[in-house]
Chain A
Amino acid sequence: MSDNEVAQGRSAGADMAGAFESSGGHGPTPPSQITGHYSADNPDMVQFVDADGNRLGITEANEPYSCIVEEMTSQDARTIYRDLVLVRRIDAEGHALQRQGELGLWPSLLGQEAAQVGAGRALRPQDYAFPGYREHGVAWCRGVPPENLFGMFRGVNNGGWDSNANNFHLYTIVIGNQMLHGTGYAMGVKADGAVGTGDPDRDTAVMAFTGDGGTAQGDYNEALVFASVTAAPIVFFIQNNQWAISEPNDKQFTIPPYQRSRGFGIPGVLVDGNDPLATYAVCKAALDRARAGEGPTLIEAYTYRMGAHTTSDDPTKYRSDAEVEIWREKDPIKRMRGFMEEKGHADAEFFAAVDVEADEIAARIREACQTMHDPDPVTMFDNIYVEEHPVVAAERAEFQAYQASFVEEGSH
């Protein structure tokens, strides 16, 4: 989005209806009704550092969170920086492995590292995350081994990690479904009395993730209703990366999600999704609120998907290079590093060591992916039901006998 487009969007508000009428489906696309909400000077946007990492002053929007940022130590900053770099590298490896034929598909998170790491680091061990399919950075922060994510995209399983080991649910492909799972889980947390006890190891919150496109889905909207009326301890985290495959924000909504949440009775926060300090701070505050038993919050992280939707997508068909370039300037890692250098949170040695670690992780997960075995085909009959099911049992036996017949004939 160029500044020019932003300006158009803002000035066009008044005669929007006219623009719609005259376009009649054939005329020029009406100027966006919503881009104005996301301009840099939107007073609602929570931000702590500028594009170069300079600490911004106190504003009405960031003031409630500034104490969280003030309390962050150099070590906290280094943890976040390391996560950002490693997550980017894991993502790049996923992309490369797909290009080399090792994975069938990869949905890249490039550009969204700050949103995900901020959210991921604000979660506590007992909290539970319900992701979509692009939350590799949250998975990383939860301790899910990155190579486990690959199994799904390689096609050896439909989710190769134990959700309960790290309280990170399986990826969910049907857009929006997981918003309800998170809400129901949070209703259970509340029914268990695991909120508002004041015990930091006991009080629990849930975070559910979806994209800007996901906010149009029925399940998303139903989840907001359920969470609101049950005061469930959940934080809805919307990564507004501005594109749902080829469809921009103005095909999904005319009022941004962070404002629309109020119509559901849920406070909404708009945060600069490329600012890791800001995403961490707003997530921490919202999760604390949920854990205290004060109910749900919706966070909209305004960010950008730098890559394609997935490796099957061709973004040149629907967006301009110029738009991508504008967002390259807002790179979250550059920003975090600038901030740390300015504050003296780390030295060159630290930054170099993180790069080395990234290389090591990349090599490790590459090897894990390449040596990942296809499961024995008979396992596709496993776990369909908890209890034995005669149809599955019969078909398993039939399949095994059929396979065995090839072995006997010596054709394997």
Chain B
Amino acid sequence: MAGSKLTLAKGLNAGLRRAMEEDPKVVLMGEDVGKLGGVFRITEGLQKDFGEDRVIDTPLAESGIVGTAVGLALRGYRPVVEIQFDGFVYPAFDQIVSQVAKMHARSLGNLRVPMVIRIPCGGGIGAVEHHSESNEAYFAHTAGLRVVSCSNAADAYWMIQQAIQTDDPVIFFEPKRRYHERGQVEVDRDAGADLGLYESRVVREGTDATLLCYGPMVKTCLQAADAAAEEGRSLEVIDLRTLSPLDLPAILDSVRKTGHAIVVHEAQTFVGLGAEIATLIQQEAFYHLEAPVLRVGGYNIPYPPSRHEEHFLPDLDRVLDAVDRSLEY
């Protein structure tokens, strides 16, 4: 079968499976990733097929998971680590920013720690606190890490394989509220990914304004673009896919065309990725801008109780409101 309709979750699962088949050094680690297949079932069936030595149920200790993955990587393995939920990566933050990110540089290039740290991210699933955060900015801020975010099944399938093959450590964000959305995935063995891991994709072409988004917000922005089209507005939507490094040329191409840019993410806007993107745009494409770069994001409060999350999370209306403001200039 060359292509099939898979959910984003199954796309990840298939991508992990293929990476494990192709490279015996790929090992999966995390809490509950074995028999259970992870709390989101991303690793379902993999322990059964690859054994307990390659799909490792770890103690409940995030620093331990990432820290031992460093040691395994130093021994020649390629660990793929699952953090159960976004809010639980903080105990491992020290290992990630102090060790994972710096090992290659401080060894003067002698050491590599190729590993993927998978983080289900974002809200919208009605979860209890610490289960809905968007912490990409912490990692994008750290030199030595690469940060990517998938938004659909096909990307999930290809990007996870590309991330595993990369010799740099990759923080891999998975939009948990999109896990169950289906998309066409070309799983043909010989068909490569059509995009490099660090390239963004224009998911909808348009001429009036550019929506820059990633992960869970891609779908929201596409819906906003549909709604705007009914009012005769043509919005271009870019799925950034890569957050560090940013695919800046693609961002600038679009903004130069439309003259209007709106960055949309779930994370709080203060010192968020939108701030960086807005700055880069005004630095590099100032004379093409017809309005200030606007941001739509979470409010600058801790992620609220789930009964309030629909007000916290950018939705179609907040995106369209920002489009109005931008086009009014």
Contacts and interface: CB of A to CB of B under 8 A. Distances in A.
22 contacts: A130-B71, A159-B107, A159-B108, A162-B107, A169-B74, A170-B106, A170-B111, A177-B67, A177-B94, A177-B95, A181-B68, A192-B75, A218-B63, A219-B64, A223-B67, A225-B59, A226-B58, A226-B64, A384-B104, A384-B143, A386-B168, A389-B245
Contact of A159 (B64, B74, B106, B146): B106
B99 A177 contact: yes
Contact of A225 (B61, B110, B111): B61
A191 B53 contact: yes
A308 interface: no
Interface in A206-231: 218-219, 222-223, 225-226, 229
B112 interface: yes
A158 B102 CA distance: 10
Interface string A378-412: 00001111110111100000000000000000000
Contacts of B144: 384-385
Interface string B55-85: 0001101011011111111111100000000
B252 interface: no
A162 B107 CA distance: 7
Contact of B111 (A163, A186, A189): A163
B318 to A, nearest CB: 30
Chain A, interface size category, equals 35 or more
Contacts of A177: 67, 94-95, 98-99
Contacts of B95: 177, 180, 219
B64 A223 contact: yes
Given A186-B71, A387-B167, A222 B59 contact: yes
Nearest to A184: B71
B95 to A, nearest CB: 6
A174 B98 contact: yes
Chain B, interface size category, equals 35 or more
B75 A222 contact: no
A4 interface: no
Interface string B242-273: 00110010000000000000000000000000
A2 interface: no
Contacts of A169: 74
A339 to B, nearest CB: 37
Interface in A144-189: 157-160, 162-164, 169-170, 172, 174, 177, 179-189
Given A158-B105, A384-B105, A181 B71 contact: yes
A181 B99 contact: yes
B281 to A, nearest CB: 15
Nearest to B112: A386
B91 interface: yes
Contact of A382 (B94, B98, B109): B109
Interface-centre pick from A160, A179, A191, A385 (highest chain B CB count, 10 A): A385
A387 B166 contact: yes
A188 B245 CA distance: 31
A118 B67 CA distance: 27
B72 A160 contact: no
5 tightest Cβ-Cβ pairs between the two chains A and B: A184-B71, A180-B67, A188-B75, A184-B68, A222-B64
A184 B167 contact: no
Given A159-B108, A183-B67, 11 more contacts: A158-B106, A164-B110, A164-B111, A184-B69, A184-B71, A188-B75, A188-B77, A191-B27, A383-B105, A384-B143, A387-B168
A188 B76 contact: yes
Interface of A: 130, 157-160, 162-164, 169-170, 172, 174, 177, 179-189, 191-192, 218-219, 222-223, 225-226, 229, 382-387, 389-392
B177 to A, nearest CB: 30
Nearest to A234: B71
Contacts of B58: 226
Contacts of B73: 184
B107 A226 contact: no
Contacts of A384: 104-105, 143-144
A191 B112 CA distance: 19
Contact of B106 (A157, A181, A385, A387): A157
Contact of B146 (A185, A225, A385): A385
A98 B105 CA distance: 25
Given A159-B108, A226-B59, A181 B74 contact: yes
B104 A386 contact: yes
Contacts of A172: 99
A161 to B, nearest CB: 8
Contacts of B168: 385-387
A188 B107 contact: no
A174 B98 CA distance: 8
Nearest to B248: A390
B324 to A, nearest CB: 33
A180 B71 contact: yes
Contacts of A158: 102, 105-106
A392 B144 CA distance: 10
Nearest to A158: B106
A229 B70 CA distance: 18
Given A225-B59, A384-B104, A391-B245, A191 B77 contact: yes
